Amino acid sequence: MRTSIASISIAARAVLNMHSLNNEGGEGNQIQTRMVDIIGHDGELHNVNAISGDMLKHVLMEHFYQQARARHVSLCESCQRFNTNRINADKDFFKRADDKKWSDADFIDQMLQTCAIDDVAGILITEGKRSVPRKSISEFGWVLGLPGKVSTDSYFHVKYATERGADKRAEDAEGQKSGANLGQSIFHRPASSGVYALVCHLELARIGYNDIKQDYAISDEERQLRASLLLESLMHTFIELNGAMRSTQLPHLVALEGMITTSTGVTPAPLISPLMGGEDHPYAYREQAADIVTALNGNGEEIVKLQTFDTISDFATQMRTLLDVSRQRKAVYVDCCTLLIGSTFLTEASGGNLVWRQDSSCSHTIRYQDGTAGCSYPYIWSCGRRKSFFFLA
């Protein structure tokens, strides 16, 4: 049976050698890499090399952009050029967004229908005197070096000039005033090697979801397509770590091991930092995650799943399997006070009746009327005055 993924989390340790994926600027001819302070598993502060989550999310969106263009997925005019201002820079869209006609909820609907990148990457609409947020589907943490297992050094480089005669040097010095930088020059670049901890989370069930209307703005097919392209892009992000200085300092990705957790309901896919355990207990985060998954599922259906991977190819294979079996789930929203126990309502997506009932543990459940489809389990959470239900579409 095909399963659907409502949310997915990935935690991994990656061994990267001689990379300079994220730098924060330069002083003179010295480029400086990102260093951050973190608390290690020993409870002590450590200064470690890091790559910001912005970098990874940007890489994810680059991959998603390529995928979306190849599959002719709807993108706003701005995102068609991969402009990071996203829909805020789409003048035609804002011409259509007439303040008097469109409420904020209508605006979000139109935005979700117009652009897949604004949908999955999120945006704060500030254009047109509006302030409408779209929360991102994808979330990345900083990629952090494991204390004691990461090292950064600075390396000397030269831009070599073939002609160094007195006339040429004088000419180059003159050019220096205009910023042309024509002469021979030396500079220092950082490179880091070590074990890095990565965390990310995707809320696939929210793709195309209007948080104001509490309903989907796009068709199930479109949501399914965006979700699978996003998962594909995520796989590419981990395998091809884009970032700064790749033309001469392409990182050596030597190893990747970690875990993928998925949830087919509103129970979140658990995420634990791979920093846990440090050098001494490298699998502590996976062991804890396994216990959490057991606790979350209890004696009921297996909503949350954990799988581990020990190599880069293992990761790619598991992601491919997830991609092949994933299918978006649809949320149904009903006003709980109008829904009586035993009443039925029709859903377009399933084409069948759903029965509202109360089970022995007194939690509300939704089941297909014929008891099949294998989805029936109480996915319920309170959302203001409404109750939300997820089921297989």
Residues in contact with Zn ion by CB under 5 A are 76, 79, 86-87, 115, 117-118
For Zn ion, the closer of residues 117 and 217 by Cβ is 117
Bridging pattern class, strands 215-216 and 209-210: antiparallel
Nearer to Zn ion, 107 or 285 (CB): 107
Q: Which is nearer to Zn ion, 59 or 76 (by Cβ)?
A: 76
Q: Min. distance of Cβ 123 from Zn ion in angstroms?
A: 7
Question: For Zn ion, which is the closer residue by CB, 118 or 203?
Answer: 118
Q: Which amino acid, one-letter code, is at 18?
A: M
Judged by CB, which is closer to Zn ion: 71, or 164? 71
| Residue in 388, 392, 390 with CA at minimum distance from that of residue 375 | 392
Smallest gap from residue 77 Cβ to Zn ion (A): 8
Q: Which is nearer to Zn ion, 51 or 87 (CB)?
A: 87
How far apart are CB 69 and Zn ion at their closest, in Å? 12
- For the bound state, the minimum distance from the C-beta of residue 107 to Zn ion, rounded and expressed in Å, comes to 14
Q: Rounded to an integer, what distance in angstroms lies between the CA atom of residue 122 and that of residue 117?
A: 8
Q: CB of 54: closest distance to Zn ion in angstroms? A: 18
Find where tokens 């995707």 sit: 202
Give the contacts of 391 (CB within 8 A, at least 6 positions apart). Answer: 329, 330, 332, 347, 350, 354, 366, 368, 373, 375, 376, 379
CA-wise closest residue to 134 among 211, 68, 61, 77: 211
Check: CB of residue 246 under 8 Å from CB of residue 18: no
Q: Smallest distance, Å, CB 127 to Zn ion?
A: 12
Q: Output 76 or 375, the one with its CB closest to Zn ion.
A: 76
- Alpha-carbon Rg for the chain in angstroms: 25
Strand ranges (DSSP E) for the chain?
7-19, 23-27, 30-33, 35-39, 45-51, 123-125, 132-134, 138-140, 143-159, 185-202, 209-210, 215-216, 252-263, 304-309, 329-335, 344-346, 353-358, 364-368, 380-383, 386-392
Q: How far apart are CA 123 and CA 90, in angstroms?
A: 13
Least Cβ distance, residue 80 to Zn ion (angstroms):
8
Least separation in angstroms between residue 217's CB and Zn ion is 14
Residue 121 CB, nearest distance to Zn ion (Å)?
8
The C-alpha atoms of residue 43 and residue 227 are separated, in whole angstroms, by: 38
Dihedrals phi, psi of 380, to nearest 5 degrees: -135, 130
Closer residue to Zn ion, CB minimum distance, 77 or 314 = 77
Q: Which is closer to Zn ion, CB of 79 or CB of 304?
A: 79
For residue 133, the tally of other CB atoms under 10 A from its CB is: 13
- Beta bridge partners, 198, equal 12
